[in-house]
Chains A and B, each alone.
Chain A
Amino acid sequence: MNITFEERMRESINRPRIYFDHAATTAPRAEVIDVVAKILREDFGNPSSFYNEGHRAARLLEDARTTIASCLDVLPEEIFFTSCGTESDNWAIKGAAYARQGKGRHLITTTIEHHAVLHSMEALEREGFEITYLDVDHRGMLDSEKVRDAIRDDTILVSVMMANNEIGTILPIKEIGAICREAGVLFHSDGVQALGAIPVHPQELNTDMMSFSGHKLYAPKGIGLMYKRKGARINSLIDGGAQEKRQRGGTENVAYSAALAKALEMSLADMEHESRRQMVLRDRLIRGVIERIPHTKLNGHATERLPNNANFSFEFIEGESILLFLDKLGYACSSGSACTSASLDPSHVLLAIGLPAEIAHGSLRVTLGIDTTDEDIDSFLFDLPLVIERLRNMSPLYSDYRRGKLQPLIPEEGSLDLKIDGSYGWPS
Chain B
Amino acid sequence: MQYSDKVLDHFMNPRNMGEIEDATTSGTVGNPVCGDIMKMDLKIVDNVIVDAKFMTFGCGSAIATSSMSTELIIGKTTDEALDLTNKVVAEALDGLPPIKMHCSVLAEQAVKKALETYYLREGIMTPERAKKFAILGQCEHDDHDQDNCACSDA
Which A residues are closer than 8 A to B by beta carbons? 9, 316-321, 324-325, 328, 337-339, 342-344, 346, 356-358, 361, 393-399, 423-424, 426-427
Chain A CB within 8 A of B24 CB: no
* Chain B residues with CB under 8 A of A396: 28, 37-39, 55-57
Tell me which residues from 54 to 93 in chain B have a Cβ below 8 Å from any Cβ of chain A: 55-63
Q: How far is the CA of A215 from the CA of B32 in the complex (A)?
A: 36
Q: Is the CB of B143 within 8 A of A344?
A: yes
Task: Kindly list 14 other residue pairs between chains A and B, CB separation below 8 angstroms, not including A394-B63, A395-B55.
Answer: A9-B12, A318-B36, A318-B59, A319-B59, A321-B11, A325-B12, A339-B58, A356-B33, A394-B14, A394-B17, A394-B55, A396-B38, A398-B57, A426-B31
- Name the interface size band of chain B: 35 or more
- Are A339 and B35 interface neighbours, CB within 8 A? yes
Complex Cα distance A346/B153, Å? 21
Residues of A within 8 A of B36 (CB): 318
Chain B interface (Cβ < 8 Å from any Cβ of A): 3, 8, 11-12, 14, 17, 19, 28, 31-39, 55-63, 99-100, 102, 141, 143-144, 150, 153-154
With a CB–CB cut-off of 8 A, which chain A residues contact B58?
318, 321, 339
Query: Which of A339, A395, A426 meets B59, CB within 8 Å?
Result: A339
- Residues in A with CB closer than 8 Å to B60 are 320-321, 324, 339
In the assembled complex, which residues on chain A have CB atoms less than 8 Å from the CB atom of B61? Answer: 339
A-B CB contact pairs (8 Å), 26 listed: A9-B12, A316-B57, A318-B57, A318-B62, A319-B59, A321-B60, A324-B11, A328-B12, A339-B58, A339-B59, A344-B143, A344-B144, A346-B35, A357-B33, A358-B35, A361-B32, A394-B55, A394-B56, A395-B56, A396-B37, A396-B56, A397-B57, A399-B19, A399-B55, A426-B33, A427-B153
- What's the A-B contact tally at a CB cutoff of 8 Å? 90
- Are A338's CB and B33's CB within 8 A? no
Given contacts A324-B11, A396-B28, A427-B150, contact A337 B59 (CB under 8 A): yes
Which residues on B sit within 8 Å (CB–CB) of A357?
Answer: 32-35
Tell me which residues across on chain A come within 8 A of B56, comparing CB atoms. 394-396
Give, as a whole number of angstroms, the nearest-CB distance from A295 to chain B: 14
Nearest residue (CB) in A for B144 is A344
The distance from the CB of B42 to the nearest CB of chain A, in whole angstroms, is 15
Residue pair B59, A321 in contact (C-beta under 8 Å)? yes
In the bound complex, residues from chain B placing their C-beta under 8 Å from that of A399 are 19, 39, 55
| Contact of A426 with B32 in the complex, beta carbons under 8 Å | yes
Q: Which residues on the B side are within 8 Å of A423 (C-beta)?
A: 33
* Best-surrounded residue of B12, B38, B141 (most CB of chain A within 10 A): B12
Smallest CB gap from B66: residue in A: A394
The residues of A that contact B154 with a CB separation of less than 8 Å are 426-427
CB distance from A411 to the nearest CB of B (A): 18
Taken together as a complex, chains A and B put the C-alpha atoms of A357 and B57 apart, in Å, by: 13
Complex: chain A residue closest to B61, CB-CB: A339
Complex contacts, A325 vs chain B, CB 8 Å? 12
CB distance from A13 to the nearest CB of B (A): 13
Bound state CA distance, A399 and B55, in angstroms?
A: 9
Give the CA-CA distance A316 to B62 in the complex, in Å.
15
Give the most central of A346, A396, A424: most B CB within 10 Å.
A396
Query: Taking the nearest CB of chain A, how far is it from the CB of B92, in angstroms?
Result: 19
**If A396-B28, A399-B19, A427-B154 touch, does A344 touch B59 (CB 8 Å cutoff)?**
no
- 8 interchain residue pairs of minimum CB distance: A339-B59, A358-B32, A320-B59, A396-B55, A396-B39, A361-B35, A357-B33, A395-B57
In the assembled complex, which residues on chain B have CB atoms less than 8 Å from the CB atom of A343?
Answer: 143
Question: Closest residue to B142 on the A side, CB-wise?
Answer: A344
Nearest-neighbor residue (CB-CB) of B152 within chain A: A427
List the B side residues contacting A397 at CB < 8 Å. 32, 37, 57
Q: Which residues does chain B contribute within 8 Å of A356, judged by CB atoms? A: 33
Q: Roughly how many angstroms separate A318 CA and B34 CA in the complex, as a whole number?
A: 10
Shortest distance in angstroms between A412's beta carbon and chain B's nearest beta carbon?
A: 19
In the complex, A155 Cα to B61 Cα: how many Å? 47
Find out whether the CB atom of B141 lies under 8 angstroms from the CB atom of A344: yes
A399 to chain B, nearest CB (A): 6
**A338: which B residues are within 8 A, CB to CB?**
34-35
Most buried by B among A337, A344, A397: A344
Complex Cα gap A52–B153 (Å): 73
* Complex Cα–Cα for A317 and B56 (A): 9
CB-based contact A342/B35 at 8 Å: no
CB B141 to nearest CB in A, in angstroms, measures 6
Q: Which of B58, B61, B100, B141 has the most CB of A within 10 A?
A: B58
Considering the complex, give the chain A residue whose CB is closest to the CB of B28. Answer: A396
Which of chain B's residues have a CB closer than 8 A to the CB of A424? 32
Per the bound structure, the CA–CA distance linking A328 and B36 in Å amounts to 22
Report which of B3, B31, B38, B63 forms a contact with A427, defined as CB distance below 8 A: B31
